[in-house]
Every structure is written in C-alpha cells, then in structure tokens.
Amino acid sequence: MATRKKSLLKVIILGDSSVGKTSLMNQYVNKRFSNQYKATIGADFCTKEVVVNDRVVTMQIWDTAGQERFQSLGVAFYRGADCCVLVYDVTAPNSFKNLDSWRDEFLIQASPRDPEHFPFVVLGNKVDLDNRQVSTRRAQQWCQSKNDIPYYETSAKEGINVEMAFQTIAKNALEQEAEAELINDFPDQLRLNSENNRPSNADNCQC
C-alpha cells in the first residue's frame, strides 16, 4: 500500500506561566518580539510552512491561553501532538523544576503510543538576561536523563537559537509522524479529515 504522508504537524508548547512561550512562538512565526504582547487571549495556534528533509510541511504550533497557571489545558490541546516543546526560564529555577510535572502531564493527557520515544524538545529561554539561575549543565543532565531530549538555550527577545530550535522541533515531529504511520495505518477517512482541517493560510498567527 502506498504511504501517504501527513503534511500537518501539531506542536504544543508547555511550561510555567511567563517563561516566554507566547514570545517564542511569536518570534519564530512573525519574527517579532513585543513587550506589549500580553497574555495570550484564547487557546489558539499559529501555522508556519517549513521545509524539512526536502519536504514542505505545515507546522501548527499550539500555545496556551494562560490556563497553564491552573494546569488545566483540556484534552483537545494535547490530542494528536507530534512534538511537545517544554519551556523554562533560565532565571526562574521553579520553572525548571516544574518541567518534570509538565512532561508527566503531557504523557498522561496525550497518552502517546510510544511514551519512551515521544519527541520532546526543551528550551531554556531568556538567556539574554544576566541573572541566570539554572546552569546549562544542570539542564543538559535533566534532558539526558529523560532519554536524551534535545536542549536549546534561547532568547525570544533577541531571536537567539529560536530558528534552530524550531527546525529540530519540526524534524523530530516529522520523524515521529513517520514512525506512527509505520506502526498504525489510519483509515483513509481519518486521514482525509485531517487534511481537510489544514489551515488554508500558512504563516499566519491567529493568536
């Protein structure tokens, strides 16, 4: 049977409030950082077309609407995620400690087929600030202990490493999707529906 490749990748961004999730998404999709960019209004997503392994894919990046304060994001947020980005703030140690519970929460809510190998990417954000409290080494160790999660230190404000991190996110999401297709061949009906749900205008932000 011919393999039909999914060209829509769902990426969700998790982490404590104020670590810079919305700013990272905004920097990546719109190449903008704004101090006026306030708490996200309404759970929403941005889309961006990216080229990965010579293929054009649409990345759908889901941001929270601030409900992360209550850890109550609802199952629709997690459902069908192809990659989960965990963000902490390098100047806020608690946001780093909470990565464990964000990861656990994701695994419970999304219940991926192969939790051990599900692609996470960790971003230590706000490296432009000089009051860092979490060392690179400590973060790397945590990532290694969780099955070698890729780790990037970013600044949504200065645009540091944001592009590179999202390239890895897209690549790993695509690989996970390819593996899922091998394991589980979805009925055509489902596949058609997911194609139909594809946002028509790429590179736009609805948040």
Interface ranges with ligand G3D (CB under 6 A): 17-23, 35, 125-126, 128-129, 155-157
Q: Which is nearer to ligand G3D, 3 or 131 (CB)?
A: 131
Kindly tell me which residue out of 26, 40, 125, 168 binds Mg ion, with binding defined by CB under 5 A: 40
The CA-based angle 196-199-200, given to 5 degrees, is 95
Instruction: Answer with the entry of Mg ion, ligand G3D, none that 108 interacts with (C-beta below 5 to 8 A by kind).
Output: none
Q: Which is nearer to Mg ion, 35 or 184 (CB)?
A: 35
- What dihedral angle (degrees, nearest 10) is formed by the CA atoms of 74, 76, 81, 85? -40
| Counts for the chain of helices (H) and strands (E), in that order | 7, 6
Q: CA-to-CA distance for 168 and 67, rounded, in angstroms? A: 26
Instruction: Answer with the entry of ligand G3D, Mg ion, none that 125 interacts with (C-beta below 5 to 8 A by kind).
Output: ligand G3D
CB of 171 to ligand G3D, least distance (A): 23
**Where is 49: in which H helix or E strand?**
strand 44-52
Residues that bind Mg ion (CB under 5 A): 22, 40
